[in-house]
Amino acid sequence: MWHMLKKPFLLSRRGPATGLVVAVLASLTACAKPQPGEEFNDPYEKQNRAIHEVNVTLDQAVFGGGDVPKKKYLPDPLAKGFSNAAYNLSMPSAVLNNLLQLNINGAAKDTLRFALNTTFGVGGLMDPADVIGLYAEDADFGETLHVWGAPEGAFVVLPIGGPTTERDLAGSIVDIFIDPLGQVFKGRDFVAVEGVRIAGQVGNRQEYSDLIDSILYESADSYAQMRLTYLQYRHNQLGIEEDVSDPYEEFYAAP
């Protein structure tokens, strides 16, 4: 599905993280590199397309779209609230990753955001920090690996998880182990936290349904459009300034 689960919740947070970062960095040295003349680093395109088709089928079955009527599971205000709460739960991990990137200002801002929204935003359901202009500085371990100089690797599509890259996939796994909330919440509390995150993903899918549906169900090639959109979005997040051409730009521009 397009709404990628940033932290695969089915993976356990249990177990020591010692040596994990080193192992990830070592594995990234073997990441696939683009071949001469390739526009995208997508050596697994055949497999990726097959997984993408399954993801689109699942997305359509769950949320509708295309020829299937759209399905809404949460009222819009509640969907927005869960989306806010899930985003708020990502702040402790963002603080840690900002520190790993030596971004002290970003870590401080995210700490203040988390404290303010958790306290005065009813556990993060509301976003008073955004109202006063205290915006987040998102950070994850995939970005940390980028800052440390690790290569991006190949484009990958995960079952249910959606688009990512080899570097970001490795980063997501590390984030599971180093997430401060994973060390605090156990048992039923952990399940509740993950439930909020899942509800947040549902809220995001509803909030951005028009954009997502246009990519999945209205594109000439939904896989190519999804890949282009994701990579442009991610590169913008990482501050990578490079032009990635849209192979269907002329098609969309045609009258």
Per-residue pLDDT tens over the stretch 140-189: 999 999 999 999 999 999 999 999 999 999 999 999 999 999 889 999 99
**How does residue 13 score in pLDDT terms, banded at 50, 70 and 90?**
very low
Q: What is the pLDDT of residue 67?
A: 85
Q: What is the pLDDT of residue 228?
A: 94
Query: Is residue 6's pLDDT more than 60?
Result: no
Q: What is the chain's Cα-based Rg? A: 19
Cα dihedral 35, 40, 41, 44 in deg (nearest 10): -100
**How does residue 242 score in pLDDT terms, banded at 50, 70 and 90?**
low
Query: Is residue 85's pLDDT more than 90?
Result: yes
Query: Is residue 22's pLDDT more than 90?
Result: no
Q: What is the pLDDT of residue 66?
A: 86
Hey, what are 215's tokens?
């990519």
The separation between CA 196 and the C-alpha centre of its own chain, rounded to angstroms, equals: 16
What is the overall mean pLDDT for the chain?
84
Q: How far is CA 92 from CA 87, 118, 137, 184, 198, in A?
A: 10, 12, 12, 11, 18
